[in-house]
Chain A
Amino acid sequence: MLKVENLNVYYGVIQALKGISFYLNQGEVVALIGANGAGKSTTLKTISGIMRPREGSIAFNGEEITSKPAQDIVKLGIVHVPEGRRIFARMTVLENLYMGAFTINDKAQINQDIQEMFERFPRLAERKNQLGGTLSGGEQQMLTIARGLMSHPKLLLLDEPSMGLAPLLVDQIFEIIQTINEQGTSILLVEQNAQMALAVSNRAYVIETGTITIEGDGDDLLKNDSIVRAYLGA
């Protein structure tokens, strides 16, 4: 479904990604794990079109999307949920959801989707007319995910969905991720919480300073000694 080959990305003169290649099959949850600054978020930003690679190619369902602008990539069904809960703080919850459905023109469909999101995230329904910036961290994260789902993505790029959340909320977010996946959306997950990420993912890649060092099944990596030492702190 998604095929990334030999991706080289630079911030000015600093090379952030040094020839990253990986793939994702239809229906899979694939995790990218690694330390701060390893290049996980850069990978997602390059796929969604916010950053441009200097070399390499990204193909989605066989179609080359490397040089497409971000707004066209969304229309193909790749939705990037950025890290740090980047909701529109001065818009209401409802308006944020409408923004998520920007590519959809069918009003009835949008309203039906919003009802669905409110059923899945009851807290958002309670606060639908509140400004995004006044929500708590967990609510904002749910809103970011709900906003991302509004355009019916085929592939969801999730960047650090558990960052800065209370343990109970982290569990909840990962449950949501699993439900989304069961309903047919493929997920590329970037996480620092490697334990959780590996538990929900089919396969995983470990990124270190811009290159992929280890790849394998989620369960296998959980048993891998070097991973456990480096990322799980055991």
Chain B
Amino acid sequence: MKKLNKKALRVLLVIGKYARWTVGIALALFLTWRIYQVLFVQQAFTADTWLRFALSGLILGGMYALIAIGYTLVYGIMFMINFAHGEVMMIGAFCCYFVFEALRFIPAPIAGNPDLVFLNAYPILSILIAFLVGMTVSGFSGYFLEKIAYRPLRHAPRLILLITAIGASIFLQNAAMLLFGPQRKNIVNPDILTRTAGWTIQVAGKPVLISYTGAFSLILSALLMIGLYFLVQKTKLGRSMRAVAQDQDSAALMGVDVNKVVSQTFIISGILAGASGVMWGIHMGLVNHITGSLPGIKAFTAAVLGGVGNIPGAMLGGITLGVIESMGPALFGIDFQLKDVIAFLTLIIVLIIRPSGILGEKLTEEKL
């Protein structure tokens, strides 16, 4: 009896030693079983439904990725999490709303249609203006956020910066609520981008709608990500950003103005968040002061998921999170209300099994 206990203890010790792996393998087995149940035993959904889930996941993921890049860029340079970043995205969404509303008031009558407004007369130009305004205003928001809230604390302990970021986030949310009111506002798109319009393809005998807004968002976020990657890898600005991220003093000794690079980083991440906000407005169609908060936290999750500080990681993390969130509830056969739980549970699991994220490198002492 005693011998058996000793043996059991030894087994437990071995399991404890490989706790992470044990947890990981147990989880993987459980999830595989669950997915098998849903896919082959219950067969609750057909192929067309899965495709719809995947598509909406990809679209959402593209937006998450754009916001996540902002978290990662700022973290790479200042080692702080800019918790007000979601609010910058909210500002972008509001810009979309106001630009569309304003353009609806400008009449642009033509012979056959005296009621035509600018928004529908020049839809592509209108969308372009919305993006231009949204990205500019968000870029400036990022710039002033750093200048006013973070720069005076450059040499303060990191925890203080973190608390300041949360404070800035609360401030921006409440400012938006006081300025624009708490009720949700409907964003009415130009007619060519009506949310119910799109291409229809037949999958398993049923129609699947690929909405124009969704396709547009997905393509645009892909283009922006490619653009950013090029900017960071190939241009002088990108090189100086990477240099500052790696070693601020050495970068300054090369003639890099560190303050300027920090400002530029905040502007770039603001622009990306703004683009994502305008896309959110066009695709989702609703905006109020808390629009940015959940996507902001999700994108932060995505950045950590991919490995914070790593740009391809943020992109991968964003897309992965969007898809998991969208397909997860169906895949595990649980309620769709629980999609946020699945998103954050994914983060917890990744942090247990691989704390540095999917593509993240091990953090060295100086970075911690």
Contact = CB atoms under 8 A, between A and B. Distances in A.
A102 B252 CA distance: 10
Contacts of B257: 69, 71
Interface in B201-255: 236, 239-240, 242-243, 246-247, 249-255
B256 interface: yes
Contacts of B239: 91, 95, 98-99
10 contacts: A69-B257, A70-B249, A70-B253, A71-B258, A75-B255, A82-B253, A88-B243, A88-B246, A91-B246, A102-B254
Interface of A: 48-50, 69-71, 74-75, 79-80, 82, 86-91, 95, 98-100, 102-103, 147, 151
Contacts of B250: 82, 86-88
A102 B249 contact: no
Question: Among the interface residues B236, B240, B253, B257, which one has the most CB atoms of the partner chain A within 10 A?
Answer: B253
B240 A86 contact: no
Nearest to B260: A71
A87 B239 CA distance: 13
Nearest to B252: A70
A48 B253 contact: yes
Contacts of B253: 48, 50, 70, 74, 79-80, 82
A100 B246 CA distance: 15
B260 to A, nearest CB: 9
Nearest to A78: B253
Contact of A99 (B249, B251, B258): B251
**Which 4 pairs between the two chains have the least Cβ-Cβ distance?**
A74-B255, A70-B252, A103-B255, A86-B250
B249 to A, nearest CB: 6
Given A88-B242, A103-B255, A151-B254, 10 more contacts: A50-B252, A71-B252, A75-B255, A86-B247, A88-B247, A91-B246, A95-B239, A100-B254, A102-B236, A147-B254
B252 A91 contact: no
Question: Among the interface residues B239, B242, B247, B250, which one has the most CB atoms of the partner chain A within 10 A?
Answer: B250
Nearest to A70: B252
A71 B246 contact: no
Contacts of A99: 239-240, 243, 251, 254, 256
B228 to A, nearest CB: 18
B236 A82 contact: no
Given A82-B250, A86-B250, A91 B255 contact: no
A102 B255 contact: yes
B246 A90 contact: yes
A100 B236 CA distance: 12
Given A95-B239, A102-B240, A86 B249 contact: yes
Given A86-B249, A86-B250, A71 B243 contact: no
A49 B243 CA distance: 18
A87 B253 CA distance: 11
A76 to B, nearest CB: 10
B45 to A, nearest CB: 44
Contacts of B242: 88, 90-91
A66 B242 CA distance: 28
A69 B251 CA distance: 12
Contacts of B255: 71, 74-75, 102-103, 151
A147 B243 CA distance: 13
A19 B105 CA distance: 71
Nearest to A98: B239
A111 to B, nearest CB: 14
Contacts of A95: 239
Question: Among the interface residues B246, B250, B255, which one has the most CB atoms of the partner chain A within 10 A?
Answer: B255
Given A50-B249, A102-B236, A74 B243 contact: no
Contacts of B249: 50, 70, 82, 86
A79 B253 CA distance: 7
A157 B250 CA distance: 13
Contacts of B236: 98, 102
Interface in B144-182: none
Contact of A102 (B246, B247, B256, B258): B256
Nearest to B249: A50
B252 A89 contact: no
Contacts of A98: 236, 239
